[in-house]
Structure 1
Amino acid sequence: MTRLMIMAGSIFLCAALSSCGNSATRNDEQKDTTDSVLSDAGTVDPVALDREKGDTSFVLHAASSGMAEVNLANLALRQSANAEVKAFAEKMIADHGAANKKLQQLAAHHQIVLPESLAEKHKKIYDDLSSRKAAEFDLAYANVMVESHREALALMKTGAESLEHEDLKQYAKQTTPVISKHLEHAQELQRSVR
């Protein structure tokens, strides 16, 4: 059952998230987990993910997602004139910034090297949003926030039930309600900027 939950949640999430771009290995010479669980098409290889037990994959995907949230929020502060969008962006910077710091500590404890730059998928989203202005930006940003928080929520729920290491499970459990609130807020924002 645990394997099935890991595979199902990760397949859903990784359809939207891509590899983190740079080498993410454990210090004990373990192979690059990001490359090993993603197929050439950028989707999850369930057999490889099962082999990795999901913990490293979870950390890498959560780190990539969290980094993207902060970068996109900073962009929103520069691009938007909408007070609601700016308030939402400030909340993303505060909450995801705190979650990212905690995840960095956990990654260091488990000897997982986190990405230093945005994953290709997130870079494309950032570049697309950078080219938009005013109301067009606001709606596109709100749409991205709804989708990214749906994905993050699925990742956290799966992690809370399926991760091997208890500290990572606790991180996922503690982060789940925060992400759920973000999703609700993003959906409200999406409705208000339409």
Structure 2
Amino acid sequence: MRVLTPLCLAAGMALFSPGAAVLAAEDAATQPHAAAAQLVDADFAADTAAGGVAEIEMARLAKEKSTNEAVTAFADQMIADHGAANAQLKQVAAKLGWALPTDMGPQHRETYANLKKLSGDRFEAAYRLAMVSDHSKTVAAFEQQAEYGKTPELKAFAETLLPKLQHHLEMAQALPGGD
């Protein structure tokens, strides 16, 4: 079995994240470990930004489609909290010289499109499922970043937001539409 060097790992990761590839290109030849770590952190930041936009857009949709007070209150909370988190992340990224996506990305667009087709109890059940799934993945990513992140500002961002995201997951699990 062959072992990939950090330089190969950074190059391979760059293929899957073209926006982050620029970040690692300059340092990869001289500091492969640092470049690979920065690339992973930049990908976390990009995924977090896209996820935050998705949470806000899906929450706006929930406010339009749901008449359930618990769902609309949750949606209001998502708009406020993810809006603030995205603003904070944007400041961190600017300090690091990273550009962040401003849209939700393909997998979230598909979920959004599917939610948009639904109404009533079916919408609320699907929205709940999407929020539980998204927040489960987000909590796991933030736990990883808080534990293993190499960029101090991004690690601190993850540590600070993790309790709020864990609370979001609990709130999502309590939404109507579950078993």
In the TM superposition, residue 193 of structure 1 has moved relative to its aligned partner by: 2.6
* Distance in 1 separating the partners of 2:53 and 2:90: 11
| Structure 2 residue 117 is the aligned partner of structure 1 residue 131 | yes
| Structure 2 residue 148 is the aligned partner of structure 1 residue 193 | no
Counterpart for residue 9 of structure 2? none
> Greater relative contact order (Cα 8 A, min sep 6): structure 1 or 2?
1
Query: Within 5 Å, which residues of 2 pair with 1:101-180?
Result: 101-180=87-166
Going by fraction, where is helix more abundant, 1 or 2?
2
Partner amino acid, structure 1, of 2:103 = S
| Structure 2 residue 8 is the aligned partner of structure 1 residue 24 | no
Give the percent of matched residue pairs that are identical in Structure 1 and Structure 2. Answer: 34
Counterpart for residue 84 of structure 2? 98
Q: Taking structure 2 as the reference length, what is the TM-score of the superposition? A: 0.80
C-alpha root-mean-square deviation of aligned residues, in Å? 2.2
Per-residue CA shift, 1:68-120, capped at 9, x if unaligned?
A: 11110011001111111000000000111100100011111111111122210
Aligned with residue 61 of structure 1, among 20, 35, 47: 47
Q: Taking structure 1 as the reference length, what is the TM-score of the superposition? A: 0.74
SS of residue paired to 2:174: helix
* Distance in 2 separating the partners of 1:89 and 1:173: 23
In the TM superposition, residue 133 of structure 1 has moved relative to its aligned partner by: 0.5
CA contact (8 A) 1:53 1:163 kept: no
> Highest Rg: 1 or 2?
2
Q: Which runs of 4+ in 1 moved over 4 A?
A: 49-53
* Unaligned segments of structure 2, at least 5 residues: 1-15, 26-34
Query: Within 5 Å, which residues of 2 pair with 1:30-45?
Result: 30=23
* Unaligned segments of structure 1, at least 5 residues: 1-18, 33-48
Counterpart for residue 183 of structure 1? 169
CA contact (8 A) 1:159 1:169 kept: yes
